[in-house]
């Protein structure tokens, strides 16, 4: 498995070595020892989640705050998504910066999203199944978010806004400036 730092501090792309033959494929999705050796981070994942989405479904940008903040390891089990993260850590040199990556079932790449990041994705294929490991349990009162079309962040979601399917809850999220001021 290859693990590479993104332009955002503590945010990594994991690219597995995939073994393919006439039966299908096999790959290791996570190895705690290798992750710790390459990144210097020790992560204890305690909750796994999955979502299924149709083309154009945009989920995000979400995060949890305080002691319930979550680091996540995300991947696509079926389909293709554009995954976007934003660094919300005010002390970070990458504060306010974003990173995006295509995650799909062709390359099987994963993204490690550290605590203090907002995270979202949009489905680019007919459907997607998105899986993520979390190092903390979900806690409703600690949930936060940033509106997907924030004028400060200017995120490129790769689809026309007319194709977006966004939940009522996500449409009501505050701006980056409201969250970080």
> In which element (H, E) is residue 59 found?
strand 57-64
Tokens at residue 44, please? Answer: 């204890």
Query: Count of domains in the chain?
Result: 1
The CA–CA distances, whole Å, from 44 to 16, 41, 114 equal 20, 10, 12
What distance in Å separates the CA atoms of residue 122 and residue 55, rounded to the nearest whole number?
A: 8
Distance CA 126, CA 117 (A): 27
- Residue 86 structure tokens: 């934003």
Residue 32 within any structural domain of the chain: no
Of the candidates 55, 132, 148, 158, the residue annotated as catalytic is 132
User: For residue 30, is it within any domain?
Assistant: no
Query: Which DSSP symbol is given to 18?
Result: P
- Catalytic, 132? Answer yes
Q: Is 172 exposed, middle or buried (0-12, 13-18, 19+ CB in 10 A)?
A: exposed
The answer as to whether 1 is a domain residue is: no
Asked if residue 38 belongs to a domain, the reply is no
Instruction: Note whether residue 69 is domain-resident.
Output: yes
Domain housing 170: 45-180
Write the CATH number for 65.
2.60.120.10
**Looking at the domain assignment, is residue 124 inside a domain?**
yes
pLDDT in single tens digits along all 181 residues of the chain = 999 999 999 999 999 999 999 999 999 999 999 999 999 999 999 999 999 999 999 999 999 999 999 999 999 999 999 999 999 999 999 999 999 999 999 999 999 999 999 999 999 999 999 999 999 999 999 999 999 999 999 999 999 999 999 999 999 999 999 999 9
44-84 confidence digits (pLDDT tens): 999 999 999 999 999 999 999 999 999 999 999 999 999 99
Query: Is residue 114 a contact partner of residue 144, using CB atoms and an 8 Å limit?
Result: no
What is the structure's pLDDT at 61? 98
Query: CA separation (Å) from 136 to 7, 90, 111, 146, 157?
Result: 25, 21, 17, 20, 27
Is residue 128 a part of any domain in this protein?
yes
DSSP bridge pairs for 21: 24
Q: What pTM was estimated for this model as a whole?
A: 0.95
143 in any annotated domain: yes
Q: Which of 62, 108, 119, 148 is catalytic?
A: 62
């Amino acid at each position: 498995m290859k693990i590479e730092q993104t332009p955002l501090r503590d945010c990594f792309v994991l690219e597995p070595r995939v073994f393919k033959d006439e039966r299908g494929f096999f790959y290791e999705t996570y190895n705690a020892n290798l992750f710790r050796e390459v990144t210097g981070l020790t992560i204890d994942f305690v909750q796994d989640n999955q979502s299924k989405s149709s083309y154009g479904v945009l989920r995000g940008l979400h995060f949890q705050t305080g002691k319930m903040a979550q680091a996540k390891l995300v991947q696509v089990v079926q389909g293709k998504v554009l995954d976007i993260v934003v660094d919300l850590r005010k002390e970070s040199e990458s504060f306010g910066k974003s990173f995006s990556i295509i995650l799909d079932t062709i390359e099987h790449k994963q993204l490690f999203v550290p605590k203090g990041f907002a995270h979202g994705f949009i489905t680019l294929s007919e459907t997607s199944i998105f899986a993520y490991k979390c190092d903390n349990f979900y806690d409703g009162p600690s949930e936060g978010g940033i509106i997907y079309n924030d004028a400060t962040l200017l995120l490129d979601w790769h689809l026309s806004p007319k194709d977006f399917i966004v939940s009522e809850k996500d449409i009501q999220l505050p701006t980056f400036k409201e969250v970080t001021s």
